Chains A and B, each alone.
Chain A
Amino acid sequence: MEGLTNYISEDLVLIHIDAEDEFQCIDQLGELLLKKGFVKDTYTQAVKDREKIYPTGLSTNGVGVAIPHTDAVHVNAPAVAIGTLKQPVLFHLMGDDELKVEVQLIFQLAINDPSEQLEMLQSLVGLFSDGELLKNIQQSEDPKKTISLIREAVSAGQC
């Protein structure tokens, strides 16, 4: 199962983003996806709007993660932009109006066909249950290493 590995690449990785809040993170990753042509210019605002209503922070056994995304109409081609943070940024917890989670790892999704990209989503979620792996990804200072950590985990069938 290749899943996630088809949708990630070194040039869609931002190491140790400097951001004050979740929206600045979404801006930076959105800009990257836009520059590479994966999304339309409406994408970033749409992700931020959705995040306010349906937040995507998730608390795991390792590093807090978030999976900001939006509707297919804003997406040209599917991809996953990865952002890591040195200092955690607070995201609202998915499905919760009050609780927040300290996020240090962001997978910003450009999805244009959820059923087509199910394997990708499943292997992404598979990563979340491996706390050690999440920590290693968060600490990587080289996009190459970030990607190879994920590729190894996926090909080892963990995810």
Chain B
Amino acid sequence: MAKKKVLVACGTGIATSTVVVNKVKESLAAKGLDVSVDQCKASEVPSKAASYDLIIATTPITGAGDTPVIRTLSFLTGVGIDKDIENIVEKLK
């Protein structure tokens, strides 16, 4: 099975996206999932979405097409993070 690809989209890619990418990687590795995680600005989603299995966004995004999107701030605040990780694992199955 090909390695799953996750795209993390944030406002402008200055502060939060890098942190979210690392947190997502860590959390999924802890669940035994080996995925590749990339980051982009919200405005880049339409051109990139098609090559990913899942998009995690901290900001509203448009143009994700058929790629499922999870919008959450839990990777920054810790609030609801366990549920989000379960949700992500489920979507990547």
Chain A interface residues toward B at CB < 8 A: 50, 53-54, 58-61, 67, 69-72, 93-97, 109, 111, 114-115, 118, 121-122, 125, 128-129
Given A54-B59, A121-B19, decide whether A94 and B14 contact each other with a Cβ distance below 8 A: no
B78 and A69 contact, CB distance less than 8 A: no
Q: Collect the chain A residues with CB atoms within 8 Å of residue B19's CB.
A: 118, 121-122, 125
Contacts A59-B79, A94-B59, A125-B75 aside, 20 further interface pairs with beta carbons under 8 A come to A54-B11, A54-B12, A54-B59, A59-B73, A60-B77, A60-B79, A67-B15, A71-B12, A94-B58, A95-B11, A95-B60, A95-B71, A97-B60, A111-B14, A114-B14, A114-B15, A114-B18, A121-B15, A129-B78, A129-B81
Q: Hey, what's the 0/1 contact readout for B17-39 against A, CB within 8 Å counting as 1?
A: 01100110000000000000000
Residue among B23, B71, B75, B78 having the largest count of chain A Cβ atoms under 10 Å: B78
B11 and A128 contact, CB distance less than 8 A: no
Minimum-distance CB pairs A-B, first 6:
A129-B78, A54-B11, A95-B59, A121-B19, A60-B77, A95-B58
Docked pose: A36 CA to B23 CA in angstroms: 32
Given A94-B16, A109-B15, decide whether A58 and B77 contact each other with a Cβ distance below 8 A: yes
Q: How would you classify the secondary structure of chain A's contact residues: helix, strand, loop or mixed?
A: loop
B18 and A121 contact, CB distance less than 8 A: yes
Given A95-B60, A95-B71, A122-B22, decide whether A69 and B15 contact each other with a Cβ distance below 8 A: yes
- Shortest C-beta distance, A94 to chain B (Å), equals 6
> Does any Cβ of A come within 8 Å of B89's Cβ?
no
B14 and A128 contact, CB distance less than 8 A: no
Given A95-B57, A95-B59, decide whether A72 and B14 contact each other with a Cβ distance below 8 A: yes
Docked pose: A121 CA to B77 CA in angstroms: 12
B15 and A111 contact, CB distance less than 8 A: yes
- Shortest C-beta distance, A58 to chain B (Å), equals 5
A58 and B12 contact, CB distance less than 8 A: no
B77 and A50 contact, CB distance less than 8 A: no
> Does any Cβ of A come within 8 Å of B50's Cβ?
no
